[in-house]
Structure 1
Amino acid sequence: MPTRFGYTLMTEQAGPKELVRYAVGAEEVGFDFEVSSDHYFPWLSAQGHAPYAWSVLGAVAHATERVDLMTYVTCPTIRYHPAIIAQKAATMQLLADGRFTLGLGAGENLNEHVVGEGWPAVADRQAMLAEAIEIIRALHTGDLVDFRGEYFQVDAARIWDLPDTVPIGVAVSGTQGIERFGPHAEHMIAVEPNRDLVDHWNGHADTSTIGVGGRAIAQIPICWDRDRDAAVARAHDQFRWFSGGWDVNADLRTTAGFAAATQYVRPEDVAESIPCGPDLDAIVDAVRPYWEAGFTDVALVQIGGGSQHEFLDATAKPLLDRLRSAASGG
């Protein structure tokens, strides 16, 4: 299975109409798939946006023809009830003519706190996610569903407009997550190029096989710019939160919290973890560990809403050519 390269519709750094235009441009230059974040808040105020991802994805489904689409990722437990996620995902799949994958994860306090239901401990969040997937799968059969769980209740619910299937990808960070969620998803989502995750997933008796139908899907930020100093400054301004790691990022509550937590992160620190500037080979080298670890799909995040047009017009196609050549051993 050749490595596929995707484009991230970063809802935290662009408005809804711009995101649809970027989606069309990304398809035109040859990206294989597109993923969308699903946020109520941006990570940092400097990013400045947070439109409703599902409205954007519906528009993108109509504006594009070829690229696969995916949430990366949606939390189906607090801000959204899993029965509502099941309905939204079914509708998206119909609009996308089978190109949609439902990417799910346990969420971040940043987005889920807004409905006033609190922020559970990590063990509870994972248990809620498992129960939510059970509900979504049941509703996607088309049957009338009544459900009484530890966290959720569903009363006589049915999805009336239903596609043939809605594949699910689930975010995992270790072998325990694979054991718990792998049997209930077609695809694995992870944020680090960890070969052990791929091997453990493939070694499980009840999971799909990555590389043979199943996919391992990752995401990596880049900050292309003709001027490296400008790229470093922009990455520091808008993406220094990335240095916190997911254990920290999942629990911070507001953009002010992320600003405080990252106040001592220097531009040079960001440049060490994110490829910045015009060097396409540096971007290829940053992405390389993912396909070497067995990941089949890697989505790029081009940092900076105002940089997207130039990135797509001037750089994306030659970058994709280099990535595909390198991934295929060329």
Structure 2
Amino acid sequence: MTRYGYTLMTEQSGPRELVGYAARAEQAGFDFEVISDHTFPWLESQGHASYAWSVLGAVAQVTGQVELMTYVTCPTMRYHPVVIAQKAATVQLLSGDRFTLGLGAGENLNEHVLGTGWPDVRERHDMLAEAATLIGRLFDGGLVDADGPHFPATSARLWDLPDRRVPIGVAVSGKESLERFAPLVDHLIAVEPDADLVAGWEPAGGRAEARRIGQVPICWAPDRDTAVRRAHDQFRWFAGGWRVNADLPTPAAFAAATEFVKPDDVADSIPCGPDVDAIVEAVQAFPQAGFTDVAVVQVGDEGQTEFLDFAEKELLPALRAA
């Protein structure tokens, strides 16, 4: 049976609001919650970028059953992999073994703040593979030395290890990244309902029991016009696609790149309005492609509480019936 998740968007809501939404989402019946890890929003109108790991610590205390996950964090530039491993193990302990570490190769938008330049995609994948391997070794326990070209480590150790080893998922986008990362991690993460990714996971060395975790944006509102306006204001950056979005450095760059994206263009790619059937159709593209889990992104901070009421009463029952 497909599992349905709720996305805590650090780019569009403040940290206190996110903690409240997390508690309400568990009450509404979501199976898991994922959180983005950014230093910048995509667009200035979103207006937020709190520290995801502090939010996760608070969320772990106001929820009791729902699973938690980063979707995704980049363990290669802002954070050394040893630090990521320590944070992930701590969240696993605080949450009572409810946490999954989702990793990705990162976006210039968030990593440019270090002022060290933005590597090409091949180097980013080299860094991610090295980081995921080092994190996994730390999760195994004991002292760890590493002499990789990107992340050397000397006598690193996690002194507070959870009973349940933190599962690791990695965002993949094609055959090359599947072959690189499937043998290294537990779960597949993707942002498009690509059946080829799911079909290629096991042949590339991925685990048969792995979760296949996707994410889909929606913009629910009591009327369609309000939803379309909000989606265009907050989420028109989505039109660029991840291959373009990964390289843009600032909200100003995203604003310039999407200057000519119209509200109708956004509405064509994101279901907008109160029609539960349209939302179900968009979400179900992932299970139909073989995904086991899909997290919804409700666009915009405005109306989140009302959306969670709608999710409890209408959306989640409709998704599970489908």
Instruction: In structure 1, list runs of 5 or more residues that go unmatched.
Output: none
1:223 aligns with 2:219: yes
One-letter amino acid matched to 2:4: F
**Distance (Å, rounded) in 2 between the aligned partners of 1:29 and 1:191:** 24
> 3-state SS of the aligned residue for 1:298?
strand
**Distance (Å, rounded) in 2 between the aligned partners of 1:88 and 1:294:** 31
Count of residue pairs brought into register by the alignment:
321
1:133-212 equivalence runs, <5 A: 133-164=132-163, 165-204=165-204, 206-209=205-208
> 3-state SS of the aligned residue for 1:306?
coil
Higher deviation after alignment, 87-96 or 308-317: 308-317
1:270 aligns with 2:245: no
> 3-state SS of the aligned residue for 1:161?
coil
**Distance (Å, rounded) in 1 between the aligned partners of 2:274 and 2:233:** 18
**Distance (Å, rounded) in 1 between the aligned partners of 2:321 and 2:203:** 29
1:242-281 equivalence runs, <5 A: 242-281=238-277
> 3-state SS of the aligned residue for 1:26?
helix
1:6-155 equivalence runs, <5 A: 6-155=5-154
Counterpart in 2 of 1:311?
Answer: 307
Normalised by the size of structure 2, how large is the TM-score? Answer: 0.98
Deviation at 1:24, TM superposition (A): 0.4
User: Contact 2:28–2:311 at 8 Å: present in 1 too?
Assistant: no
1:50-85 CA distance string (max 9 Å, x none)? 000000001001110010000000000001000100
**Distance (Å, rounded) in 2 between the aligned partners of 1:207 and 1:264:** 41
**Distance (Å, rounded) in 2 between the aligned partners of 1:82 and 1:127:** 13
Instruction: In structure 2, list runs of 5 or more residues that go unmatched.
Output: none
**Distance (Å, rounded) in 1 between the aligned partners of 2:303 and 2:154:** 47
**Distance (Å, rounded) in 1 between the aligned partners of 2:175 and 2:312:** 34
> 3-state SS of the aligned residue for 2:303?
helix
4+ long deviations beyond 6 Å: none
One-letter amino acid matched to 2:298: Q
Deviation at 1:307, TM superposition (A): 1.2
Deviation at 1:155, TM superposition (A): 1.6
> 3-state SS of the aligned residue for 2:54?
helix
Give me the CA root mean square deviation. 0.8
User: Contact 2:7–2:296 at 8 Å: present in 1 too?
Assistant: yes
1:68-114 CA distance string (max 9 Å, x none)? 00000000000100010010000011011111000000000000111
Counterpart in 1 of 2:237?
Answer: 241
> 3-state SS of the aligned residue for 1:78?
coil
**Distance (Å, rounded) in 1 between the aligned partners of 2:203 and 2:81:** 29
1:290-309 equivalence runs, <5 A: 290-309=286-305
Deviation at 1:306, TM superposition (A): 1.5
**Distance (Å, rounded) in 1 between the aligned partners of 2:312 and 2:180:** 37
One-letter amino acid matched to 1:61: A
Deviation at 1:314, TM superposition (A): 3.4
Deviation at 1:317, TM superposition (A): 3.2
Deviation at 1:49, TM superposition (A): 0.4
One-letter amino acid matched to 1:317: K
